[in-house]
Amino acid sequence: MINSFRYYFNASQAIIPAKINTSVFQKITPRMLWALGILTVVFTYVNMSQISPNDFWWHMAVGREILATGQIPTVDIYSYTMAGQPYLSYQMFWLMDIWLYWWYSIGGAEMILFIQSLIITSTYLIIMLMCWQGSRKWGVTAFSLLFAIVLGVYAWSVRPQAISFLLGAIFLYTIQRYRSTSNPLLLAVLPVGMLVWVNSHGSFPVGLMLLGIWFGDEFWQTFLARWRGEHSSQKKVMVAAMVLFVSAAICLLNPRGIGITTYLISMGSNPTVQNTVPEWLPPSMTSPIGPLFFVSILFSAVVLVISPRRVTFYQLATFVAFTALGLWTTRGVVWFGLVMAPILASNLAAIGEGLPGRQKQYKINSRTSLLNFGCSAC
């Protein structure tokens, strides 16, 4: 396992751009080790956990069937009571079913757990990088990373949904990097990622939510600039709109085409699923994750209110949209942690800078610098 972990971090170092490697990992500090230690615990925990029975072997069987026949089943071929009846889930998870069974055929359950460890750890590695870039403080980064992990650990079982967490983190990072660098090559990541997402898991609308919030923020910034009489270019709005439109169109490239919306609507409105399946129920004070989620909502709201930084449309829309998602279904709680961690990191860093002790220290350092400058001038 230790060798697997070393291999993972060597691979991640190669993937992360050199500029980020230099700025993030150039100087090892104790607080940096806190964040890296948290990632180590995540990798170890997933790698040493057991595969929950749930529907894992069903996905294995479906992946085996698709590879053996070369086609995706359209009717129920496994149950006794519903045999021969249309079953849409085959077409919803087909890509991840093939992926999981292929790795299982190579190395068994141990290989599946290793791949799951890479997916989950990579997800939170990306979130960690975003938290650091927004705060430039490793203590804040470690805390924000832990915030996301605590709200997501319940959802780390080996299932197709795991890939959606990684894709969501990639979407968040890509949007952030494009807005800071304007590198057009980054935009290609989003439609490609959406193509994988829509053929892997039914949570792909979350990707469209993230793109929609980005577009909404660009539109709002342009509107404010014009309202103030300032010059503003519509390029950013047009780019965000184009990416959202292309990504939405890409969603049609799945075995059911536009009919995939039928699956989503049926799952969202099915009373049996909504009222009896624990992961679809809304979180409550008696559910395992409910109290933590409610506390995290309150904590996030307080941070946004007291932060010296003005809350942006992007931050507010993200908070409102993913709070609503988490309140609607327990499945949305993990997403609240992922999207809010970078936002909390930047605002917690701003709050830390505004504390009286920090301001006093800043004044002392400023006076010392002026005194040294005066002495050197003499």
* pLDDT tens for each residue of 124-174: 999 999 999 999 999 999 999 999 999 999 999 999 999 999 999 999 999
Specify the DSSP class assigned to residue 310. P
Contact between residue 233 and residue 239 where contact means Cβ atoms under 8 Å apart: no
Other Cβ atoms closer than 10 A to 257? 10
Instruction: Tell me the average pLDDT of the chain.
Output: 87
Give Cα 117 to chain centroid, integer Å.
Answer: 15
Residue 363: what pLDDT? Answer: 42
Contact between residue 192 and residue 90 where contact means Cβ atoms under 8 Å apart: no
C-alpha span between 325 and 282 (Å, rounded) = 9
* pLDDT tens for each residue of 15-71: 444 444 445 555 778 888 999 999 999 999 999 999 987 789 999 999 999 999 999
C-alpha span between 208 and 98 (Å, rounded) = 24
pLDDT over 50 at 364, yes or no: no
Flag whether the pTM goes above 0.75: yes
Residue 86: what pLDDT? Answer: 84
* pLDDT tens for each residue of 70-97: 999 989 888 888 888 888 888 899 999 9
